[in-house]
């Protein structure tokens, strides 16, 4: 998967060669026309534009022509809303809609030296989109992640939708997510989408329309493998083939691979199996899930750091996922496991984001974020009610005890109006209340991690709960308090 695609026209090939080499030396994967391997060059160009995270069009008099390939490539990238770093190699004005005011640099007089201008300016612009160049990494955490042009602040809570053990079915959950203007990411099950496609009512069409609407709003839509729902419902008919039919028909940003819930205990064999499940037609949008092997009916969580490092050393996925329940028993052991996974990944010399599956408890998100995790998904937002003051969760039937919080503390008028509207069902109000709470919770967490003050957030929220809590937290996270 290329980080960057470069589009150009003659006679800029020498400059593109130097630009590509310089960017690759900084650790980015760069694609341009020299990498075309097939005679069917047009589909290959389109495929790499779709896969890329950023594009660099270079405009000269040839590129500006109505029938130029560069212009076609740039329009394709524009339609896909790919972030652009616009360059010119002559005194030209890029064609509409590629506005001249967005030109980053003129490379006409560039000497092709990566130590001189305008190369450094180009790098800074690329870093604004993709984050710090991999070879520049100094051990710091990523503050955001770019998923096919959709930028998510980290840590990020992905709101899960499911037909299993929730107070809102996927259709009602989507209604809540559409109401809140700050919805940034959601997860929906391929199993549920497949089942709704079999129904004879209009639900499936409504769900797809809602997903498409959220997708156009810039919401990151993560598709789950469906194995959670199928296993909980003991449905042995769910297969990878059915999963693939959903991949071919539903709107989404990226998807978890069809995972093996009982992997081989050998590390290399385990990782080989995951890679084989990702290879193929959908490999560019599939995210790996790593499961700890089972021995004597117990998940071997201590093997997870080695498994993560093995996968990340061979592949460079957008992020790697693991179920929270496989991290060990109790929040202390889970935190230690995440911390060891983070240390293992950091030894690779670049930042590799970690996703924890099935984690929607605000306090657990807080603690595992401090340990080094970056993304989380869970159903708690649509099956319990959050106390906006403490972050504690309560039974959904107790929502009316906390409804006033969202009337008085709402982040926007839409939330306040939903709380005051007597025609809005209580469960939908609860979900909107929780969504608004999570917006504030995650912003506070993001800010505290950025300033290395997450220990203060832990202390403020939880220290009064048990006498031994602070001692435990100081042991897990030395230096945070």
Within this chain, do residues 281 and 234 fall inside the same structural domain, yes or no?
yes
What DSSP assignment string belongs to 42-72? HHHHHHHHHH-SEEEEEE-TTTTSTT-HHHH
**Chosen domain end from 89, 109, 136:** 136
The token pair at 104 is 């980053």
- Does 471 fall in a domain? no
pLDDT at 328: 96
Report the alpha-carbon distance of residue 147 to residue 272 in Å, rounded: 24
The token pair at 51 is 């896969």
Sign for the pseudo-dihedral over CA of 364, 369, 373, 379: positive
Question: Which residues share a beta bridge with 147?
Answer: 150
Within this chain, do residues 153 and 175 fall inside the same structural domain, yes or no?
yes
Within this chain, do residues 249 and 327 fall inside the same structural domain, yes or no?
yes
Smallest CA-to-CA distance from 87 within 134, 27, 144, 23 is with 23
Within this chain, do residues 103 and 228 fall inside the same structural domain, yes or no?
no
**Number of Cβ atoms within 10 Å of the Cβ of 437:** 24
Report the alpha-carbon distance of residue 441 to residue 448 in Å, rounded: 11
What residues have CB less than 8 Å from 46, skipping those under 6 apart? 76
Residue 198 belongs to a domain with what CATH number?
3.20.20.105
Can you point out the beta strands (E) in 244-353? Answer: 254-256, 286-287, 294-295, 298-299, 320-323
**Number of Cβ atoms within 10 Å of the Cβ of 22:** 19
Q: What is residue 355's three-state secondary structure?
A: strand
pLDDT at 474: 67
**Number of Cβ atoms within 10 Å of the Cβ of 322:** 25
- Does 179 fall in a domain? yes
Residue 87 belongs to a domain with what CATH number?
3.40.50.10140
Report the alpha-carbon distance of residue 438 to residue 137 in Å, rounded: 30
pLDDT at 402: 96
- Does 291 fall in a domain? yes
In which residue are the tokens 């300033």 written? 451
Report the alpha-carbon distance of residue 290 to residue 274 in Å, rounded: 8
Say if residues 336 and 328 touch (Cβ distance below 8 Å). yes
- Does 461 fall in a domain? no
Within this chain, do residues 357 and 314 fall inside the same structural domain, yes or no?
yes
- Identify the segments of the chain with pLDDT beneath 70: 35-41, 100, 462-474, 476-481
- Does 476 fall in a domain? no
pLDDT at 41: 65
Report the alpha-carbon distance of residue 304 to residue 463 in Å, rounded: 30
Within this chain, do residues 280 and 233 fall inside the same structural domain, yes or no?
yes
**Chosen domain end from 81, 103, 136:** 136
- Does 465 fall in a domain? no
Domain boundaries, position 211: 144-450
Per the structure, how many domains does the chain have?
A: 2
Say if residues 394 and 408 touch (Cβ distance below 8 Å). no
**Chosen domain end from 136, 155, 176:** 136
pLDDT at 40: 58
């Amino acid at each position: 998967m290329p980080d960057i695609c470069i589009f150009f026209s003659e006679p800029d090939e020498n400059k593109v060669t130097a630009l590509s080499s310089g960017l690759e030396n900084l650790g980015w994967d760069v694609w341009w026309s020299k990498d075309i391997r097939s005679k069917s060059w047009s589909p290959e160009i389109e495929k790499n534009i779709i896969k890329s995270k950023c594009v660099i069009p270079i405009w000269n008099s040839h590129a500006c022509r109505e029938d130029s390939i560069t212009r076609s490539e740039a329009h394709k990238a524009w339609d896909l809303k790919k972030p652009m770093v616009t360059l010119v190699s002559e005194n030209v004005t890029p064609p509409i809609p590629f506005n001249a005011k967005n030109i980053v640099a003129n490379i006409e007089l560039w000497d092709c030296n990566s130590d001189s201008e305008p190369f450094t300016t180009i790098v800074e612009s690329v870093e604004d989109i993709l984050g710090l160049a991999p070879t520049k990494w100094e051990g710091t955490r990523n503050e955001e992640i770019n998923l096919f042009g959709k930028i998510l602040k980290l840590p990020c809570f992905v709101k899960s939708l499911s037909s299993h053990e929730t107070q809102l079915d996927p259709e009602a959950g989507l209604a809540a997510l559409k109401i809140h203007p700050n919805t940034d990411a959601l997860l929906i099950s391929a199993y549920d989408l497949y089942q709704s496609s079999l129904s004879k009512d209009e639900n499936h069409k409504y769900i797809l329309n809602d997903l498409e609407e959220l997708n156009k709003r810039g919401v990151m839509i993560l598709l789950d493998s469906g194995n959670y729902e199928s296993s909980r419902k003991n449905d042995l008919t769910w297969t990878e083939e059915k999963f693939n039919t959903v991949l071919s028909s539903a709107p989404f940003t990226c998807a978890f691979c069809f995972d093996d819930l009982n992997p081989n205990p050998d590390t290399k064999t385990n990782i080989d199996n995951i890679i084989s499940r990702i290879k193929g037609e959908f490999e560019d949008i599939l995210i790996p899930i790593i499961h700890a092997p089972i021995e004597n009916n117990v998940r071997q969580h201590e093997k997870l750091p080695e498994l993560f490092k093995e996968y990340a050393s061979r592949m460079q996925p957008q992020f790697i996922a693991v179920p929270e329940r496989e991290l060990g028993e109790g929040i202390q052991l889970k935190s230690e496991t995440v911390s060891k996974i983070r240390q293992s990944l950091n030894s690779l010399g670049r930042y590799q984001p970690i996703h924890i599956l099935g984690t929607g408890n605000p306090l657990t998100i807080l603690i595992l974020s401090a340990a080094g995790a970056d993304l989380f998904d869970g159903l708690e937002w649509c099956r319990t009610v959050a106390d906006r003051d403490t972050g504690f969760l309560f039974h959904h039937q107790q929502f009316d005890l906390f409804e006033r919080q969202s009337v008085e503390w709402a982040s926007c008028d839409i939330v306040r109006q939903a709380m005051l509207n007597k025609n809005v069902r209580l469960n939908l109000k609860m979900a909107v209340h929780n969504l608004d709470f999570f917006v504030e919770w995650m912003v506070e967490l993001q800010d505290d991690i950025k300033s290395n003050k997450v220990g203060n957030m832990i202390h403020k929220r939880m220290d009064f709960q048990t006498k031994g809590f602070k001692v435990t937290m100081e042991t897990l996270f030395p230096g945070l308090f």
